[in-house]
Structure 1
Amino acid sequence: MTDGRELRRLARSVLGAVLGLVVLVAPSQQVASGDPRPSPAPPVFVALDEVDPTILHDIRYTTRHNFVGRRIHAYRDPVCLLTRPAAEALAEAQDAARSRGYSLKVYDCFRPQTAVDDFVAWAERLRDDRMKDEFYPDVDKAALFEDGYIAARSGHSRGSTVDLTLVELPVARQPRWRPSDGLVPCDAPYGERFADGSVDMGTGYDCFDTLSTTLDPRVRGQARQNRLLLKSLLETAGFSNYAQEWWHYTLDDEPFPDRYVDVPVARRAPG
């Protein structure tokens, strides 16, 4: 007998096929597998907070508190856009998290190709290292491509990948980061890093360091347990982790596995 999870996977596959037909009706808008050109026509994305308003948001790329140090190109609103199957699966993970006394918090969701291009251009400007002391304190910026931290394409541009963490309930007030706060290495002890409200994950978000590898043996105790809990919650809901980043998950049955989309992150994206 087919269980509930298998039925959900089947439904996502059917929905992906239907949406794929909608997107692929115009041949000029097709992007073949492996083609680096982004699609000018977006798949059907939804705002996560319209699917589950209880999931917390901390969309870093609309702020200056990220590894570049400014708002990233094409990030207009602090909104999490995802394909509907990914948003609904994340809502399922949120239900499980809340039953354990936690909430999910998203840092980044759909990422336009324009933003990915912005990251690449930034990485090539080696003298622009204003945020190094926090986000890549032990990595030479010239090595960011070679080490795999920056790439010309991102799974985020397909709409079913999310960067996220866990926050304990009840949610405490999160302070707003200001440049005057200074920069503390992302691999510093939990009590020294910027307190963004998340549980201890062993590093901060977007920490360009091998310590961010999900199962790095140097991460022990509560931090390791927190990583494993996040991994369990997301895998049960149908996501898989990118092993080099504890925060990075992609829906297994993503409806658009070969499409890289370029529209702004906005509450009402054009489409």
Structure 2
Amino acid sequence: MDEPEQFWKPIPPYDDRGWDLVPPIEECGEPLVDITGRTPRILYGASYLRQGLDGALDRCWVREGVWERLRRVLALLPERYSLLIFDGLRPLRVQRAIYGQFKTVIQEERPGISAAELELILEDYVARPVKRLDRPAPHTTGGAVDLTLCLDGTPMDMGTGFDNLTSQAHTDWFERTDGGRETMRDQRRLLFHVMEAAGFVNYGCEWWHYSYGDRQWARQKKGVPIYGFCPECDG
């Protein structure tokens, strides 16, 4: 392999503590940029547009700092690698559609589930579709991206698809199971470590979700969040 050895280290367990220590957002005013088609090594899949969700964007918008760090990711990898972005900036109406979609799936899979249990499951996989300026949903800040790695233009097998609603989607799942799936484990490791090396942090319940500048990033980095709610996501 041509990739640096540190990219193959085990993925550490996700630690969800410390939310009470995240300081208030200090919005830096960094602009959103449209990165669609800026480089052949980043493809925008427009996943929610393809699904026909209300308000889904046909362009991939992220904060300028996120774009800079995505370029760092590409610089860290051989030319054979590229990125497929499923989603970037996400308007609230798209968030509402996703939330409703996931809620329906869980209710169909688990008839009779209580409202409390349902909310606990939803909390792991999709932010509540409400406008909270003090705690904005990650994708409404422009700081979060859902993505995967491609090799020679083909998405790498990470063991589950995007938006999978099971514990197998947890980033460290293959570190904790002995199922002979070392290839998927290693490919998750590569994505995790190259994104972290470029300055992103991962949300441990979703192998595809990475962010910079938002509250998740600030919690893990023990810093101050610099991206707040983007007015473009209102409505």
TM-score range relative to shorter protein: 0.5 to 0.7
Q: Kindly indicate whether residue 44 of structure 2 is the aligned counterpart of residue 57 of structure 1.
A: yes
Q: Kindly indicate whether residue 217 of structure 2 is the aligned counterpart of residue 243 of structure 1.
A: no
1:146 corresponds in structure 2 to: 120
Q: How far apart are residue 113 of structure 1 and its match?
A: 1.6
Q: What is the RMSD computed on CA atoms of the aligned residues? A: 3.2
Can you give the 5+ residue segments of structure 2 that lack an aligned partner in the other structure?
A: 1-24, 130-136, 218-223
- The separation in 2 between residues aligned to 1:141 and 1:90, in whole angstroms, is 43
Residues 73-116 of structure 1 deviation map (CA, whole Å, 9 limit, x = unaligned): 22241x2100001011111102223x163111110011112211
Larger Rg: 1
Q: How far apart are residue 228 of structure 1 and its match?
A: 0.5
Task: Go from structure 1 to structure 2 and tell me whether the alpha carbon gap of 1:54 and 1:209 turns closer, same or farther (over 3 Å shift).
Answer: same
Q: How far apart are residue 263 of structure 1 and its match?
A: 2.6
Task: Go from structure 1 to structure 2 and tell me whether the alpha carbon gap of 1:93 and 1:139 turns closer, same or farther (over 3 Å shift).
Answer: farther
Task: Go from structure 1 to structure 2 and tell me whether the alpha carbon gap of 1:50 and 1:122 turns closer, same or farther (over 3 Å shift).
Answer: closer
Contact 2:36/2:60 (8 A) holds in 1? yes
- The separation in 2 between residues aligned to 1:44 and 1:258, in whole angstroms, is 10
Alignment of 1:45-84 (within 5 A): 45-49=32-36, 51-64=38-51, 71-77=52-58, 79-84=59-64
Contact 1:234/1:240 (8 A) holds in 2? yes
Residues 130-169 of structure 1 deviation map (CA, whole Å, 9 limit, x = unaligned): xx8xxx9966696553212233152011001100001111
Contact 2:81/2:150 (8 A) holds in 1? yes
TM-score by length of 2: 0.67
Residues 26-68 of structure 1 deviation map (CA, whole Å, 9 limit, x = unaligned): xxxxxxxxxxxxxxxxx6210113654431221100012xxxx
Task: Go from structure 1 to structure 2 and tell me whether the alpha carbon gap of 1:256 and 1:226 turns closer, same or farther (over 3 Å shift).
Answer: same
Task: Go from structure 1 to structure 2 and tell me whether the alpha carbon gap of 1:116 and 1:262 turns closer, same or farther (over 3 Å shift).
Answer: farther
- The separation in 2 between residues aligned to 1:123 and 1:215, in whole angstroms, is 22
Pairs aligned (count): 186
- Classify the secondary structure of the residue corresponding to 1:61: helix
Q: Kindly indicate whether residue 80 of structure 2 is the aligned counterpart of residue 101 of structure 1.
A: yes
| Aligned amino acid, residue 64 of structure 2 | R
Residues 179-201 of structure 1 deviation map (CA, whole Å, 9 limit, x = unaligned): xxxxxxxxxxxxxxxxxx31110
TM-score by length of 1: 0.59
Can you give the 5+ residue segments of structure 1 that lack an aligned partner in the other structure?
A: 1-15, 24-42, 65-70, 172-196, 266-271
Contact 2:125/2:205 (8 A) holds in 1? no
Higher helix proportion (structure 1 or 2): 2
Contact 2:213/2:226 (8 A) holds in 1? no
- Classify the secondary structure of the residue corresponding to 1:49: coil
- The separation in 2 between residues aligned to 1:259 and 1:229, in whole angstroms, is 29
Structure 1 vs Structure 2: percent identity of aligned residues? Answer: 26
- The separation in 2 between residues aligned to 1:52 and 1:140, in whole angstroms, is 46
- Classify the secondary structure of the residue corresponding to 2:33: strand
